[in-house]
Structure 1
Amino acid sequence: MEHPHRSRALRLAVAAALATLAASAGTAHAASSSAALCDGEGFQSILSPSAAAFDARAAWVDRRTLAWPGARADARTRLYHAKNAALTAPAGGKVGGADGFLPLDATAAALPERLRYLGEGPVFALREADVARIAGLHRGALLLVSEAADGTVLDATRVQVAGALDDLYAAAEAVPDLGATPRTGGTTFKLWAPTARQVAVCTYDQGTGPSRAATPLRFDPKSGVWSATLAGNLDGKYYRYAVDVHVPGAGIVRNLVTDPYSVSLATDSRRSYIADLASPRLKPAGWDSDAPPAKVAAQPDMSIYELHVRDFSIGDATVSAANRGKYTAFLESGSDGMRHLRALSQAGLTDVHLLPVYDIGSIPEKGCVTPAPAGAADSDAQQKLIGDSKLADCYNWGYDPYHYSAPEGSYSTDPADGGKRVIEFRQMVQALHRAGLRVGMDVVYNHTYTAGQDEKSVLDRVVPGYYHRLDAKGAIERSTCCENTATEHRMMGKLMVDSSVLWTQAYHIDSFRFDLMGHQPRSVMETLQRRVNAAAGRHVNLIGEGWNFGEVADGKCFVQASQLALNGSGIGTFSDRGRDAVRGGGAGDSGRDMVTRQGYVNGLVYDPNGGIQHSPADLLKAADLVRVGLAGTLRTYPLQVYTGEMRELQRIDYGGQPAGYASEPGEVVNYVENHDNQTLYDLNVLRLPASTSTADRARVQVLAAAINAFSQGVAYFHAGFDILRSKSLDRNSFESGDWFNRLDWTYRDNYFGTGLPPAADNGKDYALFRPLLANPAFKPAPADIAFTRDAFRDLLRIRASSTLFRLRTAGDVGQRLRFYNTGPAQVPTVIAGRLDGAGYQGAGFKSVLYLLNVDKAARSIDVPQETGRAWKLHPVHASPAAADRRASEARYDPATGRFTIPPRTAVVFVE
């Protein structure tokens, strides 16, 4: 998910639950029966209501000091406390309901950088004698009050708690076994809930039905962890926690909640599942000997296929009905989909990256529906049916994390069995490994599905106000689309790291793709890298979206894991530089911009589509940005730009940022299409002239793939890119159902023109889309799909044939890559790059020369440096089985060094 443009699934309100208060306050767990305590649902009761709600315009710096920018300099400041959360502080009146107060003294301390979002203002400190009391007072209500000498309230605010809790309970970061740990001698439960007043664990024999026991947990004042060990190995049973905790604005609340460290769940995440993930009962045959194929020696070796579990098989008639859309579809080795993946693997693909497969909050795991739309190519009937059922249907991309460390149940053949999804997930990984593909995971630690007292909130119902990033008034930031997490806080950072370690260790995940990684601190990502490497006993590849936006932008809160701040870390970020140059426009284009903002492969200047008039300089600049991507987007790589100057890539402008930002080629991920925004085929319907044949549209698709395949760094492709995938112009298909997200492994249809896409994100452009969808000339023939499929595989073979396309270091790129046909006298529609293989391990050739002609006509360039050389076509091009016969028509004249490239063709010569 690149930008915060997604709408939300419907959130269940808690107003009805808040209206029902418990008859008595503070009932002890020990005095409650198991049934009374454990057999309700979700939010149980308010034990003591809150008298008033306040913003949180102040924040704890540590256990002793706090910052309140709005404090009155001419007033006294006190921290009032109340065990039963009944504090009132009316302006002009007096504080009511308090058990007492702690005086505060102004200090000369500066506001820490991480709290600058509050605004400048004073920092206060508790008196030494009161510091020891503060941990206990965090279990009730705290209110910071500015008052006159006579006690009249001038202002009042809550205080954001993270700074205090991180300081008070720093020892929790080292606790290795949060969650449920079943062993032969007993089962231990550990929950970090430092502000809770009481915690009990409720255990159950099944995912539904009555509880078996309620057991109080003991509190450790050093770590803030509540724990208990129950007799017997409870592996295969279920549990929840009953947590009594102060919730600002609600009071003292008893929440019946699942475990943030759940490793599996009952249907629809109603209960956490107790599992020994090392138990033989949860291992498919051969699991202990499962290992990834040895295809990736260094990060630039990665070529990735981004795939959604349900998309992969839901429409595949060669998969048994019970397995369609499930993890187990990958076990059917004879299916069309698995044959497709094996063919890609044999061609050189290294990784399949799965869209979110952790527990997802927005997909019903039981009783979901699959609508069957019908209508004309430009009808809005299909999207209406999808829209009416979107909250009940079986589809979502999954950027709605509920439990980070548990497999999603809707992809299991039996979501009611917490063990089944563990086994089936492992079987899927095993099947992909056996197909020669490593397995990556798309993870979304930057936000939660919901927060507060919502039924599907977990973290906030255990430690209210801690896990999310707050603004200057104490509201949760939502720049990522949803409730942003604060991984700069110790225990949210720990949760992200621990979760990634679990997936690495327990599920043999080989690589991770981090959604909106720029919202994470670089330091936490580097800790995560060390931990997953140690867990795997090898390097685990990390890539992510390093976009710089929102409340953390430009390092406002911490050094981000973003494009410009990750250099030198070895962690890869997606590059929009080459992407935008190749396909044109930007990620957020709409309206006529989708048509007029042509890119390097779809007609910029040389094949205008009747939109705005571009200047020749626009094409030259785009060609330079394509070369930036081909050179790995490296900061210090020197390039002769279109003006004739030599510039390091970091001195080439990209929308006010340096075009080159990576220190090493493994730190950049090259792509032209992923799940976000329109597919490239759909963009090319908009950007190529309408008269462009479908055969040429297929060639344009292959040109974009070639640029990606030849670029230094990680190569990343969206599933279906190689078969001209269309989503009927949908720019945001996250909840567009199976209908708009289909894949056809029979290669007969790319599903262009299957109705107007959902109105929520596309309706404003219906007038533009209707005539395009209704025009049968835009529908590719099976022959066009087959050509793209086979030409794409040839490109993978070429990339895999030589490490020169996968150079290891910036030094290697600087030494071995040279561009021809640059500067002001260039043929702007031709790019030529030469790679020197002398003495390079795995080069396979003395030299490699790739040429890309994006023009509609054949073009020639003269390269005097290459006269008299023994260039010949790459063996893949020269093979009788080569998909693109036009590439074999490329010519080299050794007498003059002239290369002639056919129209819309990518070709590789070798020496």
Structure 2
Amino acid sequence: MVRIESYEKQPPLLKEVTVTLHYHRYDNDYEGWNLWVWLEGEAGQMAEFSGEDSYGKTAVFSIQSTEEIKRVGFIIRKSTAENDWAGKRFDDRFITSFDSSGQAEVWLMQGMERIYENLNDVMVFPGIISAKIDKWDEISVLTNLSFDWEHDNLNVSLDGAEVKNIRVEKDHAGSDLANRLIIKTKNRLSLTKNYQVNISHFGYCDVTFGDIMRTKKFDQTFEYNGFLGAQYSPDHTLFSFWSPSAQQAEIKLFMNDEVFLYKMQQAERGAWQIDLPGNWEGAHYVYRVRIGKEWRETQDPYAKAVSVNGLRSAVVDLQHTNPVSWKPFKRTLESPVDAVIYEMHIRDATIHQDSGSFSKGKYLGLAEEGTVTEHGFSTGLDYLSELGVTHIQLLPIYDYWTVDETKLDQPQYNWGYDPKHFNAPEGSYSTDPYNPALRIKELKTLIQAIHDRGMSVIMDVVYNHVYDVSRSPFHQLVPGYYFRYTRSGKLSNGTGVGNDTASERAMMRRFIVDSLVHWATEYQIDGFRFDLMGIHDVETMNAARKALNDIDPAIIMLGEGWDLQTSLPDHLKANQFQADQMTGVAHFNDALRDHLKGNTFSKQDSGFINGSLGMRYHLLQGVSAGMKVPYDRKTFISPEQVVNYAEAHDNHTLWDKLCFTTPNASMSDHKRMHRLATSIILLSQGVPFLHAGQEFMRTKFGVENSYRSPDEINQLDWHRREEFNQTINFVKGLIELRRTHAAFRMRTKQDIIDCMHFHPTDERLIAYDLMAKEGSYERFTVIHNAHGTPVKFHLESEGPWHILSDGIHASSKPLSISRSDMIEVSRYSTYVLALPFRSEKVRE
């Protein structure tokens, strides 16, 4: 890297500055007001407002120092004959911008803390920002400028209800200023009646909904079951959105270089609609709503198509987005335990220089057929089909915030866990993000390509938060409804990213279910992985499961059932401790993950495969999916609820974890430990999950969370696919073994209890039998050896034993046959032996 030094001319050192400060008071009362000014570390002095102009009063003062002056502090204060500090406006403020001669000029407004450096920027007049019903007998009123309730002689009235009393909430402890007052009414307020607040100097404001919208009564009053979104036909398009908070609504459409603005009509239960005649295909649109005195402009939260960077919603004829090859896909999955899930990022899959893809990093790049490396090794979907995985889980493919689709020629990367539009595809994976319909068609082309190879698609969905609450269409249309808040009024933050959506509210729950149905039907998505699922509530997850069952019970639901500290009662959270209340919803098994390789949040912590003792009991829980050896607190009731994994897109890859925890181990032992961990995942009861590249020991060079790291860190290294081809064949053999023999994917808890039997072993060894109910084998014996040396294991009979895995090779058919009752299991390896049924023994 070449460092470019900057030799720009440095500004002069200032030891004397002169400030001109303009002050405007909307009440025209300047009596006794003056400035207290100072330099840091030096005594302060008073400065008078001695001048006047069309803006208001002015004060001009100069300050000198023996040191460089970087900023000047000031306070506007009220002085009386008895007390120089009878009052003040705000706390310490600072002027920091001076020209080369030390001059500064600023403008201040009564009730505003902001310091303006340009008069043209000061466009503020007293006004009411909002008036909201927070309680059944309270309206909270917010003004844009602060006021002194005791001295400004404000008159307050309320149309539509009788006022009982008014109280003021001060800006700061000990301050005279306030910009919020609470109107308490004599009688209970109505959700369907119109109210208006009037304040002298500040004008009027229609009353809308505040905290009251987070009550059951609000949902009962305004829950809406009608159509939402844009419903296109060649003759007309129906537009509809939900906003009980709005007093007026409009739709602004952009088409053929023209802009059209139409008023929308209020429908029942807070919905707004307009049915526009004509063919609006290709039009872009936004909604405009007036809430209180403020007009807001935003996209359609139900938009199924969006413009570049999701700035506007778009009208598309979805029938025109189907590729020529588009056809219905018959899902044949009988149980989630039959799945082998492979998690992958669209860009990672093909961006490598030797991926063999033409459209690298795009939907179409992954959809390409016959892609190979320079040396002829398969890549892309052909490779995954050969590997034997059943479901490709795609990291977020909905439209997200943090990749600028107008600058795709510049290096950009993100995983996509920053939702913008939940129902429209991401544009950066399209060959033309400016074309709303094309990104839909190209994503469908990829899905069809996956289906054509006999594999299914799981979509990573992130309904638990939004990237930016203030700019979210949810918040713009119904501020305060779609998110959880703490008792202090702040956004709940169980997600750790600043906000939690409120799935327990009727219209958020409806949105999640509607969105899932859209993806499952329009795109034929075969499963959904819920990011931070523990934020959601049990009822919502069950509603989602029911809706997807109505489409096809073979659609998989899995998620992160972590116990997160959100503003929701514990017993309602959709986490692992309520798994027994969510039939058909699977949870990532972090217990097996952490006891297998060490705590995922600690670089140095190790587990069963890399040196720690005391892990055996936890591994018995893991390999039995908590069915034979139950978890203490988790409430899994079926193996289909348990997703077993060793690594995923976030945190360190398994290979990097081994490098941190066993730095002195040989490359050979690292490979063996890695294969051991992967084999435990693939042979355990429950649903196996692989991270892309895990089968060729993917590294991210020690980067833990690479969500915005460059391609060099995140890309699937197809050269490594060539280098580790033997291990790929081992994983391929394990997948084939699992998919061939039903004993490795038992359907019920009782089956596992009856047919899985553990052998007594030491802490570094796991051994168990699986009794088969069908097929050519009577039983399987699985041995996981985490010793750094070979171990001899005594079998219950002389066989003949068919060896299906020797830690380096694996197959559904015998690698070799042993007639001994003793087997030597190599260090850090998994052996699988099968005992044929008696009829098979006779043939031997």
The C-alpha deviation readout for 1:55-75, integer Å capped at 9, x for no partner, is x9x955xxxx4xxxxxxxxxx
- Listed as ranges, the matches of 1:631-642 within 5 Å are 631-634=624-627, 637=628, 639=629
In structure 2, the CA distance between the partners of 1:52 and 1:257, relative to structure 1 (3 Å rule), is closer
State the alpha-carbon separation in 1 of the partners of residues 660 and 744 from structure 2: 31
In structure 2, the CA distance between the partners of 1:292 and 1:684, relative to structure 1 (3 Å rule), is farther
Q: Does residue 474 of structure 1 match 2:513? A: no
In structure 2, the CA distance between the partners of 1:702 and 1:193, relative to structure 1 (3 Å rule), is same
The C-alpha deviation readout for 1:401-421, integer Å capped at 9, x for no partner, is 001111001111111111001
Q: Which amino acid aligns with 1:310?
A: R
Q: Indicate the residue corresponding to 1:587 in structure 2.
A: 600
More helix as a share of residues: 1
State the alpha-carbon separation in 2 of the partners of residues 573 and 672 from structure 1: 14
Which one is further off, 544-553 or 398-407?
A: 544-553
Q: Does residue 425 of structure 1 match 2:443? A: yes
1:82 to partner: Cα distance: 7.2
Q: Which amino acid aligns with 1:725?
A: R
The C-alpha deviation readout for 1:553-598, integer Å capped at 9, x for no partner, is 7x34x611100112252200111111011111x2322xxxx22x22
Do the aligned partners of 1:87 and 1:141 also contact (CA within 8 Å) in 2?
A: no
Q: Indicate the residue corresponding to 1:661 in structure 2.
A: 635
Do the aligned partners of 1:52 and 1:88 also contact (CA within 8 Å) in 2?
A: no
Do the aligned partners of 1:135 and 1:168 also contact (CA within 8 Å) in 2?
A: no
Q: Does residue 305 of structure 1 match 2:345? A: no
More strand as a share of residues: 2
Q: Does residue 136 of structure 1 match 2:215? A: no
Q: Indicate the residue corresponding to 2:782 in structure 1.
A: 850
Do the aligned partners of 1:47 and 1:253 also contact (CA within 8 Å) in 2?
A: no
- Listed as ranges, the matches of 1:210-229 within 5 Å are 210-211=258-259, 213-220=260-267, 222-229=268-275
1:571 to 549, 570, 585: 585
Q: Indicate the residue corresponding to 2:138 in structure 1.
A: 79
Q: Indicate the residue corresponding to 1:519 in structure 2.
A: 535
1:98 to partner: Cα distance: 3.9
Q: Indicate the residue corresponding to 2:214 in structure 1.
A: 163
Q: What's the C-alpha RMSD, in Å, of the aligned pairs?
A: 3.3
Do the aligned partners of 2:355 and 2:379 also contact (CA within 8 Å) in 1?
A: no
Q: Indicate the residue corresponding to 1:650 in structure 2.
A: 631
- Listed as ranges, the matches of 1:254-265 within 5 Å are 254-265=295-306
State the alpha-carbon separation in 2 of the partners of residues 450 and 87 from structure 1: 27
The C-alpha deviation readout for 1:144-190, integer Å capped at 9, x for no partner, is xxxxxxxxxxxxx9951323586366554422x20110124411000
Q: Indicate the residue corresponding to 1:7 in structure 2.
A: none
Q: Indicate the residue corresponding to 1:286 in structure 2.
A: 325
Q: Does residue 350 of structure 1 match 2:386? A: no
Do the aligned partners of 1:267 and 1:409 also contact (CA within 8 Å) in 2?
A: yes
Q: Indicate the residue corresponding to 1:204 in structure 2.
A: 254
The C-alpha deviation readout for 1:606-640, integer Å capped at 9, x for no partner, is xxxxxxxxxxxxx1x31111111110123xx3x4x
Q: Secondary structure at the match of 1:513?
A: strand
Q: Indicate the residue corresponding to 1:325 in structure 2.
A: 361
Q: Which amino acid aligns with 1:239?
A: Y
Do the aligned partners of 1:169 and 1:224 also contact (CA within 8 Å) in 2?
A: no
1:488 to partner: Cα distance: 1.1
Gaps of 5+ in 2: 1-121, 166-182, 200-207, 836-844
1:853 to partner: Cα distance: 1.1
1:884 to partner: Cα distance: 9.6
State the alpha-carbon separation in 2 of the partners of residues 308 and 94 from structure 1: 62
- Listed as ranges, the matches of 1:20-169 within 5 Å are 50-51=127-128, 60=135, 65=136, 79-80=138-139, 90=149, 96-100=155-159, 102=161, 131-132=189-190, 134-137=192-195, 159-164=210-215, 167=218
The C-alpha deviation readout for 1:819-845, integer Å capped at 9, x for no partner, is 112xxxx2322211211113x4xx552
1:484 to 496, 500, 522: 500
2:741 to 798, 802, 805: 802
State the alpha-carbon separation in 1 of the partners of residues 147 and 162 from structure 2: 18
Q: Which amino acid aligns with 1:214?
A: L
1:47 to partner: Cα distance: 12
Do the aligned partners of 2:239 and 2:273 also contact (CA within 8 Å) in 1?
A: yes
Q: Secondary structure at the match of 2:747?
A: coil
Q: Indicate the residue corresponding to 1:629 in structure 2.
A: 622
Q: Does residue 398 of structure 1 match 2:416? A: yes
1:809 to partner: Cα distance: 0.7
Length-normalised TM-score, structure 2? 0.75
1:478 to partner: Cα distance: 2.4
More contact order relative to length (CA 8 Å, sep ≥ 6): 1
1:445 to partner: Cα distance: 0.3
Do the aligned partners of 2:244 and 2:270 also contact (CA within 8 Å) in 1?
A: yes
Q: Indicate the residue corresponding to 1:709 in structure 2.
A: 682
1:132 to partner: Cα distance: 4.2
1:441 to partner: Cα distance: 0.5
State the alpha-carbon separation in 1 of the partners of residues 788 and 150 from structure 2: 73
State the alpha-carbon separation in 2 of the partners of residues 461 and 163 from structure 1: 16
Aligned residues: 682
State the alpha-carbon separation in 2 of the partners of residues 450 and 508 from structure 1: 29
1:694 to partner: Cα distance: 1.6
- Listed as ranges, the matches of 1:849-888 within 5 Å are 849-863=781-795, 866-874=796-804, 882=809
State the alpha-carbon separation in 1 of the partners of residues 219 and 720 from structure 2: 60
Gaps of 5+ in 1: 1-44, 66-77, 107-123, 144-156, 247-251, 371-392, 605-618, 640-648, 652-657, 749-781
In structure 2, the CA distance between the partners of 1:702 and 1:200, relative to structure 1 (3 Å rule), is same
In structure 2, the CA distance between the partners of 1:133 and 1:808, relative to structure 1 (3 Å rule), is closer
State the alpha-carbon separation in 1 of the partners of residues 299 and 123 from structure 2: 18
Q: Which amino acid aligns with 2:820?
A: D
State the alpha-carbon separation in 2 of the partners of residues 685 and 245 from structure 1: 56
1:394 to partner: Cα distance: 2.4
In structure 2, the CA distance between the partners of 1:628 and 1:253, relative to structure 1 (3 Å rule), is same
Q: Indicate the residue corresponding to 1:893 in structure 2.
A: 820
Q: Indicate the residue corresponding to 2:309 in structure 1.
A: 268
State the alpha-carbon separation in 2 of the partners of residues 88 and 429 from structure 1: 59
Q: Which amino acid aligns with 1:853?
A: N
The C-alpha deviation readout for 1:347-394, integer Å capped at 9, x for no partner, is 431100000010101111111354xxxxxxxxxxxxxxxxxxxxxx42
1:882 to partner: Cα distance: 4.1
State the alpha-carbon separation in 2 of the partners of residues 316 and 737 from structure 1: 14
Q: Secondary structure at the match of 2:507?
A: helix
Q: Indicate the residue corresponding to 1:772 in structure 2.
A: none
Whichever of the two has the greater Rg, that structure is: 2
1:849 to partner: Cα distance: 1.4
Do the aligned partners of 1:890 and 1:901 also contact (CA within 8 Å) in 2?
A: no
Q: Which amino acid aligns with 2:679?
A: A
Do the aligned partners of 1:787 and 1:884 also contact (CA within 8 Å) in 2?
A: no
The C-alpha deviation readout for 1:490-535, integer Å capped at 9, x for no partner, is 111111111111000100000000000000011011101111222x
Length-normalised TM-score, structure 1? 0.70
State the alpha-carbon separation in 2 of the partners of residues 859 and 102 from structure 1: 83
1:446 to partner: Cα distance: 0.4
The C-alpha deviation readout for 1:830-884, integer Å capped at 9, x for no partner, is 211211113x4xx552211111112221102335xx224442212x769xx9469
The C-alpha deviation readout for 1:776-813, integer Å capped at 9, x for no partner, is xxxxxx64x22222211111111111111111111111
Q: Does residue 365 of structure 1 match 2:405? A: yes
In structure 2, the CA distance between the partners of 1:421 and 1:633, relative to structure 1 (3 Å rule), is same
Q: Does residue 830 of structure 1 match 2:765? A: yes
In structure 2, the CA distance between the partners of 1:436 and 1:191, relative to structure 1 (3 Å rule), is same
In percent, how many aligned pairs have the same letter?
A: 28
